[in-house]
């Protein structure tokens, strides 16, 4: 069974669905498969817009960091850059949790449709870690620098409803998948040659900035990966208790 299902869901709209329920934790293999599936539509003349969704309880509850080292982080982010670099517009349908790297994945899309009770969280600092997946770029572009700093420093969760108020998502719907498909259908009704051209123009600087940010984020994460605080942050998260950080 593959981690990503692809299928047509409407006229000129295709679905990319994460299939590692219930939490859809993503690792290098899964992200590579997603990037391959997404980029395979670059030259598909029958598809103009993509919907990124997930099976299970959560959209993506984060990155599976088990056994990962500095080299693994850099390989992972090479695949992340590929996700940003496709030609076709992407609408993400966010239900349940989009946490850490899962939020980063959602932010790689052009638009996000979230359930009212969805939980979007950049919780890296709560884990003794540094944020990644290009959030240094995508988060302030969506919510502004000050709000991005607040979300990164505190690691607090926001609901889908608050996310729409902040600019973190674009629409709220009880069924975000159906709403995302409808939104993608609106986009796909435009001229098929215009859409990738417009996307390339409008995202050019962002993708360049994300490429540079991924290198910086990877270095910062690698530096914190072996710290006692990161080990404590992970343990506290698993044990559902407040962390006891020691600056070590």
Let me know how long the chain is: 248
The pairs formed by 139-148 with CB atoms below 8 angstroms and a separation of 24 or more are 139/107, 141/206, 142/107, 142/166, 142/167, 142/168, 143/167, 143/168
- Between CA 194 and CA 176 the distance in angstroms is 26
pTM over 0.85? The answer is yes
Residue spans per domain, the chain:
4-174
CATH architecture of the domain formed by 4-174: Alpha-Beta Complex (3.90)
Question: Exposed, middle or buried: residue 238 (CB in 10 Å: 0-12, 13-18, 19+)?
Answer: exposed
Contact 23, 55 (CB under 8 A): no
Tens of pLDDT along the chain (248 residues) come to 578 999 999 999 999 999 999 999 999 999 999 999 999 999 999 999 999 999 999 999 999 988 899 999 999 999 999 999 999 999 999 999 999 999 999 999 999 999 999 999 999 999 999 999 999 999 999 999 999 999 999 999 999 999 999 999 999 999 999 999 999 999 999 999 999 999 999 999 999 999 999 999 999 999 999 999 999 999 999 999 999 999 99
């Amino acid at each position: 069974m593959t981690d990503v299902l692809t299928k047509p869901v409407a006229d000129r709209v295709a679905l990319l669905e994460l299939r590692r329920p219930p939490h859809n934790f993503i690792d290098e293999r899964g992200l590579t498969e997603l990037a391959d599936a997404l980029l395979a539509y670059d030259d598909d003349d029958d598809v103009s817009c993509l919907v990124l969704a997930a099976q299970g309880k959560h959209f993506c509850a984060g990155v599976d960091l088990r056994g990962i080292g500095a080299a693994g982080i850099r390989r992972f982010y090479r695949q992340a850059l590929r996700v940003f670099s496709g030609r076709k517009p992407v609408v993400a349908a966010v239900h349940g949790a989009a946490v850490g790297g899962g939020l980063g994945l959602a932010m790689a899309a052009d638009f996000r449709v979230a359930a009212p009770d969805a939980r979007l969280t950049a919780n890296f600092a709560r884990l003794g870690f540094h944020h990644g997946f290009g959030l240094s770029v995508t988060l302030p572009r969506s919510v502004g620098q000050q709000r991005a700093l607040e979300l990164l420093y505190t690691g607090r969760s926001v609901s889908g409803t608050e996310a729409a108020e902040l600019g973190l998502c674009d629409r709220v719907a009880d069924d975000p998948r159906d709403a995302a498909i409808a939104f993608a259908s609106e986009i796909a009704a435009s001229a098929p040659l215009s859409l990738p051209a417009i996307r390339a123009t409008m995202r050019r600087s962002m993708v360049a900035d994300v490429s540079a940010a991924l290198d910086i984020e990877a270095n910062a994460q690698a530096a914190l990966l072996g710290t006692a605080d990161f080990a404590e942050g992970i343990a506290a998260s698993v044990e559902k208790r407040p962390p006891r950080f020691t600056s070590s």
